[in-house]
Amino acid sequence: MSCCLIKRFLCCAVLFFDAAIAPAQNTEAKAPPVIDVHVHAMDGNFPGVAPMCPNTSKFTASDPKEKEEPFGWVKEPCTPALYPSAPGEYMKDVLAEMERLNVTAVVFGDPKSAQKWKDSAPTRVIPGTSFQSGMAPGQRVALEELRKDFTNGGFKVMGEIGLQYEGISPSDPSVDAYFALAEELDIPVAVHMGTGGSGRANVTMPKFRGSMGNPLLFEELLARHPKLRVQVMHAGYPMIEEMLTLLQANSHVYVDVAGLIWSYPIKEVNRYIERLVDGGFEDRVMFGTDQLLWPKLMAYSISIIQNADYLTPQQKRDILYNNAARFLRIDNTQGK
């Protein structure tokens, strides 16, 4: 969701806040390891970005007769407000947070941007790129170009794939060759499904379709590619019944809770995660942030899992680390 989110915050974020950032957490030298499966390779300057209020309590209606703001989050005081980095400091700040919190992250972007993050923190960054990365909406990276990224370039995940912003289903034949490539190379794919537009997709994203975030749209694709491993980004929020149906139907499907974990009302976030776990899929829920502009978002989002009274300590560890380690087939000697 990166480009749209950024645009939104660059042009509009005027959120009210009345408190400083929450006290740091996980400050011990050996914080238990965490994998964030959904980070974006940003490193620009974002002048004018205001602090962000996570888990805003509601979305507001707008009137097409008036000037409509590009996001629908209600303006309200919050604790903590999350602050953007100083110009030019973003990547450094996020990598420092990852070190402090013992986080390894899948970082998505065009090959050059993602590689820059990998070069800056080789042991903490797992690079990802997709057939849309760095391209204008609707344009595609050449198939053979992408093949090189995954065979010689060291890229490990094909994502973020944001077809929903183009109003396209993941099963659309026009992108099938890319998913076939991922299956052939045994590379997991990470596809944006569900959230988007923050209550105002109609204002800012004319091609976005909520219906194209239906997790069941994967079914035909998965039937064509039975070995494909899928990360449903944003856990298909808010279509919990369809998400559970897909998880029941296909054991190669995992979800991440990125984005939704901080951009919807907290009671709803916890209810959604609890449904996934109560449905029996505690082994397939992965932690993620959709980390974009605010370095403290990672600590904030981890705290939501850590403070979830409906999760056992083992379920928290599985969501924060073990499930992603299994999905990504990375060394799991740190996990328990």
**Number of amino acids touching Zn ion (CB under 5 A):** 3
Residues 138 and 168: their CA atoms lie apart, in Å, by: 10
Q: Which CB atom, from 192 or from 317, has the smaller least distance to Zn ion?
A: 192
Per DSSP, 284 falls in state S
Helix (H, G, I), strand (E, B), or coil: what is residue 56?
Answer: coil
Residues 41 and 129: their CA atoms lie apart, in Å, by: 10
In the bound complex, what is the minimum distance in angstroms from residue 4's beta carbon to Zn ion? Answer: 9
CB 121 within 8 A of CB 91: no
Q: Identify the burial level of 152 via C-beta atoms within 10 angstroms of its C-beta, where 0-12 means exposed, 13-18 middle and 19 or more buried.
A: exposed
Q: Which CB atom, from 1 or from 141, has the smaller least distance to Zn ion?
A: 1
In the bound complex, what is the minimum distance in angstroms from residue 162's beta carbon to Zn ion? Answer: 6
Q: Which CB atom, from 126 or from 233, has the smaller least distance to Zn ion?
A: 233
Q: Which CB atom, from 192 or from 296, has the smaller least distance to Zn ion?
A: 192
| Residue 192 engages Zn ion in binding (rule: CB under 5 A) | yes
Return the range that interacts with Zn ion (CB under 5 A); candidates 8-16, 57-65, 114-122, 186-194: 186-194
In the bound complex, what is the minimum distance in angstroms from residue 195's beta carbon to Zn ion? Answer: 7
In the bound complex, what is the minimum distance in angstroms from residue 260's beta carbon to Zn ion? Answer: 10
Closest-CA residue to 239 (of 276, 202, 288): 276
Q: Which CB atom, from 118 or from 192, has the smaller least distance to Zn ion?
A: 192
Q: Identify the burial level of 251 via C-beta atoms within 10 angstroms of its C-beta, where 0-12 means exposed, 13-18 middle and 19 or more buried.
A: exposed
Binding track, positions 231-250, relative to Zn ion; x by CB under 5 A: --x-----------------
Torsional sign, CA 119, 125, 128, 132: negative
Beta strands in 47-120 (DSSP E): 103-108
In the bound complex, what is the minimum distance in angstroms from residue 216's beta carbon to Zn ion? Answer: 18
Among 1, 235, 261, 325, binds Zn ion (CB under 5 A): 1
Residues 115 and 127: their CA atoms lie apart, in Å, by: 7
Return the range that interacts with Zn ion (CB under 5 A); candidates 183-191, 216-224, 227-235, 244-252: 227-235
User: In the numeric block, which tokens belong to residue 64?
Assistant: 């097409």
Residue nearest to Zn ion (CB): 1
Residues that bind Zn ion (CB under 5 A): 1, 192, 233
